Chain A
Amino acid sequence: MLILIIYITLFILAYFIYTILARQLKSKQKNSSRKTITFGDESTVTPNRVASVISIAVLFIIWAAFTGSKLLPLHVPGPFIGSTSFSYTAINAQNQTDKATVYIRVEPVGNKTKKPEVPEQQTGFAKDDAIKVGAWRSGLVRVQNNDDGGKEKNYRIIAINDQPITAKQSIAVTNGIVNMTPKGSLSFTPDKGWQMEPVWLPAPETVIERFIEIAANGYQNITLWENIGWSLLRVLAGFILGCIVGIPLGYAMGLNNWFRGWFDPIVEFMRPIPPLALIPLVIIWFGIWETGKISLLFLAALWIMIIAARAGVSGVSISKVHAAYSLGASKFQVLMHVIVPNSLPEIFTGARVALGVCWGTVVAAELVAAEKGAGKMIIAASKFQQTDVVIMGIILIGVIGYSIDILMRRAENFLVPWKGKA
């Protein structure tokens, strides 16, 4: 919630700063368009690249600020680290009251320091205590343990920092909160601040370090490239098989009544089933081996490619087909020289979708069962709470998915330059 408010604030702030700056620069860069109507004219809306850059920067800044990153000088308040103390007042079986102090040292989890020192001179039945608490954690203080008569029945704690307390109540003290448990013990929770604990969200530099480390040494004896390579290999194998079967089948469905009638119900039924829903069946049939994953990806790509090829055939304008026949082309020549090239743009669109779906499906399938793969790497890391590896994996999966799409778009521009220009 807090992060959302900050995000929206930054969005608005960046917009206004940009607008003011742009207005001052406007005299230099004369506008290219003289259109007076821009609101509602979609063609005038182009992505503002400045906004894109700021958007990415803001994401990283928020990430860094909320994780106490070393890359960013400015952070949101972190958890309290250091020494603090509070006093408690106890009453013993003899109805006497006495006051003592609890000395607390708050350290990042895993730091091996000693408990704070306690003054040796102690008067009264209540004795001073010392505890060590990890940042973002809370610590139980059994103050009664070292108090004289602390085990007696009527001993109880009645106040913290002179403020009265009873069971299940909590009292704010310097740098933290003191809770009284239902049984009358005390627990201290230091201030957590706004930052995220590394277990939930590690700082960006930790993720980068982990990336460098895993890129060099691998993860669980499997190199990063092996993991990614296996995922890509599966996608490629499933996708190519899907194309080899799907495209001719799609053409057949677009050209022949019998094929159309025979496969229509199958395609229409299978198409809306998300490939992930097939994972359990695939595991039963093929086990967790490569055949299973590749058949799953094959199925994911198959329906998309069939539909793309079928749409490609139906997208051929009849006058082109008529023209080809009038120019003396045979059926086979019409197929090869008119229908196939004319359907390429549709097939490319389908291939882009299919590759995207396959990439998503392979990661999901690897989450379920795999020896190697990008998905396997992050699910293994999550079992050891290695959040940095998980986040690194997720970013990597995103980058690869995006790269595949860009590659396909480049290939499309190169191979079907006439797309959308007919």
Chain B
Amino acid sequence: MNKPDNHNANLQIDNLSMTFSLPDGSTVEALKNVSLNLQQGELLSVLGPSGCGKTTLLNIVAGFLAPSEGQVVLNQHPVNGPDAERGMVFQQGALFEWMNVRKNIAFGPTMKGLPEKQINQHVDELLETVGLHGFGNKHIYELSGGMQQRVALARCLANDPDVILMDEPLGALDALTREKMQSLILKLWKETGKTIILITHSVEEALLLGERLLVMAPRPGRIHKEYHLPFAQLGVDADLREVKKHPDFSKIREEILSMIWEMEEEIMGKAI
């Protein structure tokens, strides 16, 4: 297993603002003055109605977008572009279907030019970790959606990144598979001690997979409220359905849901 990083990874998001110009000349403030600090090993879930800038935030942290203002600092150096120190798990379709499972997982280490023997051993461990033992030689298109996301997780872990960014990683899965994958993410978080930022549309998922939970509001995209929650810790190696029975769980869920409903109504008007 990967040993947790001994240097204390610290992700600072300083006063980020992002303004997009539209073709018709108007501008959209996708993010405004967003600041955040993450310690090594923290699990952060980000929730919010569509258009609140959560994907923009993730893309800036990943280095795919340069912010209009502010900066992201990881381990005392500013983020200027994508790098192996920040791994990314996408919703779907980001696996390389011309490679088999094994080669997908080995992609990062192979690009670094690590010795083949070492890579193979590491890939075997990772296959075991994500529950894909024996699937190494399968093609990506032979796997179900859930298994594909397991490959995506393993591929990301293979690089041993400081921070893992997940952009609705379970969004395309059915409810049952989703629950299994939520347990897997919690297990991986605990075992690897990685810092994880997870974006989701599902309030339940955000509660289950967020040690810290950020609710964002749209127009301009900003942090609306932050929670510190016990459920992620409780969910490690436990039945998630039991966690959901926790009295605080439904209370906070209702609170967040009505918060998001209000935001939606502000934008759309009282439609129904």
Contact = CB atoms under 8 A, between A and B. Distances in A.
Interface of A: 317, 319-320, 322-330, 333, 337-338, 341-342, 344, 416-418, 421-422
Nearest to A324: B107
Contacts of A338: 96
B139 interface: yes
B35 to A, nearest CB: 23
A320 B93 contact: yes
Given A344-B98, A418-B140, A421-B141, A326 B87 contact: yes
A342 B98 contact: yes
Interface string B45-80: 000000000000000001110000000000000000
A338 B83 CA distance: 16
B191 interface: no
B83 A328 contact: yes
B96 A327 contact: no
Contact of A323 (B83, B94, B112, B140): B94
B108 interface: yes
Please classify the interface of chain B as helix (H, G, I), strand (E, B), loop, or mixed, using the class held by over half of its residues. Answer: loop
Interface string B114-155: 000000000000000000000000011100000000000001
Contacts of A416: 98
B90 interface: yes
Given A320-B93, A322-B90, 20 more contacts: A317-B93, A317-B94, A320-B95, A322-B62, A324-B107, A325-B64, A325-B82, A326-B82, A327-B84, A327-B107, A327-B108, A327-B111, A327-B155, A328-B83, A328-B84, A328-B111, A328-B159, A329-B111, A333-B111, A418-B98
B111 A322 contact: no
A322 B94 contact: yes
Interface residues of B, number: 29
Interface in B87-105: 87-88, 90-91, 93-99
A325 to B, nearest CB: 4
Nearest to A322: B64
Contacts of B88: 322-323, 326
Contacts of A325: 63-64, 81-82
B86 interface: yes
Instruction: From B63, B91, B107, name the one whose CB has the most chain A CB atoms within 10 angstroms.
Output: B107
A322 B82 contact: yes
Interface string B170-198: 00000000000000000000000000000
Contacts of B141: 418, 421-422
Contacts of A342: 96, 98
A142 to B, nearest CB: 82
Nearest to B164: A326
B107 A422 contact: no
Interface string B3-25: 00000000000000000000000
Nearest to B167: A319
A337 B99 CA distance: 10
Of all A-B residue pairs in the complex, the 3 with the closest CB atoms, nearest first, are: A328-B84, A421-B141, A325-B82
Given A322-B64, A322-B82, A328 B90 contact: no
Nearest to A320: B94
9 contacts: A319-B91, A320-B95, A323-B90, A324-B107, A324-B111, A326-B86, A326-B87, A328-B159, A329-B111
Instruction: From B63, B91, B94, B112, name the one whose CB has the most chain A CB atoms within 10 angstroms.
Output: B94
Given A322-B64, A328-B112, A330-B111, A337 B96 contact: yes
